[in-house]
Structures are given as structure tokens and as C-alpha cells.
Amino acid sequence: MIEAYSLYSGSSGNAYIVKHGDTVILVDAGRSCAALCRGIRSAGISPEDVAAILITHEHTDHTSALRVFHKKYHTTFIGATPVLAAICENEEMCDSARALSPGREFSIGKVSVCGFSLPHDSSANICYKFSDAEGDSLVIATDMGEVTPECEEFLSGVRCAVIEANHDPDMLRCGPYPPSLKSRIASRRGHLSNGQCATLAADLAKTGTTGFVLAHLSRENNTPSLALSAVTASLNESGFGELPVTCAGEDHMVKITVDGGGCRLCTVTI
């Protein structure tokens, strides 16, 4: 059984916990260290029990707590080589950093982890897939401008998918952002729209994915109801309307339980 918690998800910060037995893995460290530790404890976990931090990319909404958290708990953190080069601020942090090879599995406790490169406007960007010996699996994949065939192949068959539904194209187009930022968000190295997420969800459902958490919703350019409407409509049209779908957010936690090939989602206010 794999458990996961979306501690924070959105423009102001992102962090997830993945748990298998006594093994606790933190994915990203957005928000302040105090908020991050509060989120971890709200999942019934002590920050001292985090075995490793997996970093997707160096943008501050994914790394803002890393330096302080590392200084306090001396936790090993793992990421792509260019990302580590961008975030290691001192020799002590460099000593705790471990580089991964995208596409190559490694183990943390009894959890198999595999990272895969996603297109984004950062030095590198990694999504992470987690699996156990029983065949339970989970993927966290956000901050990608497009779903490439290679990416979809990597995600195929995963039991539960945390995937990006960043923006509604109409809200983005009519919103307050300057044209350059709008273009960046909508580009192939930006973020997935609700429609792109909806297409991906339906495609993954056909390969055996049994639940979806929609993540990294923009506060300015999206709403949970728009994201859910797009994805549930796509799943209904594909014959998978019974699958659970919910939105991660900044003011609530989603608990994910993957067990025996199924996926259960529970929303908890922090």
C-alpha cells in the first residue's frame, strides 16, 4: 500500500508526502519551512521521519523551504543535476545532494522511484513515479507545457495520477497577466491547461489508472470547478465516469491511498 498527501498545491507553494510503511518521502518543499512542517504534521508524520526530499525543479514555489528544512533536519535531497546546481547554496547542502538519472529506477526504503524529464522553463524538470512490490503505484507530474508521447508512455498504467490542471485558456487570455507571461504559461514549456489535463486523464484511464488528483491550479487563471468539469466530462465521454477525481489546493490536504489496484481519495481541511 502506498499513501500520499498533497500538503500544498498551487502558485504559492507545492509539497507532497509519499509514504510506504515506515518510509516517508517528501516531494518538493514549497512554502515556508514552518508551513511545510505544519503540513507534514497534519498528515500525522514527524518532519524528522522524512527519509529524502525529491525535487522536481528549482522554481521557488517548489523549493522555498528547502534550505531551512535541510539546515534543521539534514535531510538528503535528490534531483536532476542541473536542478541541484541551481539550488545548492553551500557546501553542506552539496554534501546532502544526490543526482538522479532520468528513466533509471532507484529505491528509498521499499519504494521504487523513477524520475522522468518533463518540458518546462527550468534547468530541468522531473516527475516521479512510485511503486511497491505489490504493484501499487502513484505518479506526481506537474509543471509541464505539453504531454509528449514519451511522457504518456511513462505515465501509462499507474494506479493513481497527480497531474497538472493549471489554467483555463479563456481565463488566462482575459486575465491580468502581461502578454509575455501569458505566452510563457501557454507555451510548450509552460503549464498544462484543463483541456490538456482532461485528455491525458482519459488516456491514462484506458491504461488502468483508477484515480486522479488535479494539481497546481492557478489562483488567477483557473477554478476547481472548471478543472473538475473538464476532466470529469472527458472521463465520462471515455466510459470512465466512475473514477474518483478531486483537486489539490493551498487550503486543504488530499489523502491518497493506493491499495490492491484501487485508489481512494479523501479531502481534509488543514
- All domains in the chain, ordered by first residue: 2-269 (3.60.15.10)
* Cross-strand bridge partners of residue 265: 256
pLDDT tens for each residue of 31-66? 999 999 999 999 999 999 999 999 999 999 999 999
Query: Can you tell me the distance from the alpha carbon of 26 to that of 40, in angstroms, rounded to the nearest whole number?
Result: 9
pLDDT tens for each residue of 157-194? 999 999 999 999 999 999 999 999 999 999 988 999 99
- What are the phi and psi torsion angles at 42 (to 5°)? -65, -20
DSSP secondary structure string, 175-223? SSS-HHHHHHHHSTTS--BHHHHHHHHHHHHTTT--EEEEE---TTT--
- ∠ CA 107-260-253 to the nearest 5 degrees? 75
In this structure, how many other beta carbons lie within 10 angstroms of the beta carbon of residue 51? 15
The burial class, CB within 10 Å (0-12 / 13-18 / 19+), for 234 is buried
Does residue 62 sit in helix, strand or coil?
A: helix
Q: Which three cell numbers stand for residue 30?
A: 514549497
Task: Determine what percent of the chain falls in helix, strand and coil, rounding each to the nearest 5.
Answer: 30, 30, 40
Query: Can you tell me the distance from the alpha carbon of 233 to that of 241, in angstroms, rounded to the nearest whole number?
Result: 8
pLDDT tens for each residue of 214-262? 999 999 999 999 999 999 999 999 999 999 999 999 889 999 999 987 9
Q: Which three cell numbers stand for residue 142?
A: 506537474
Query: What secondary structure letter does DSSP report for 149?
Result: H
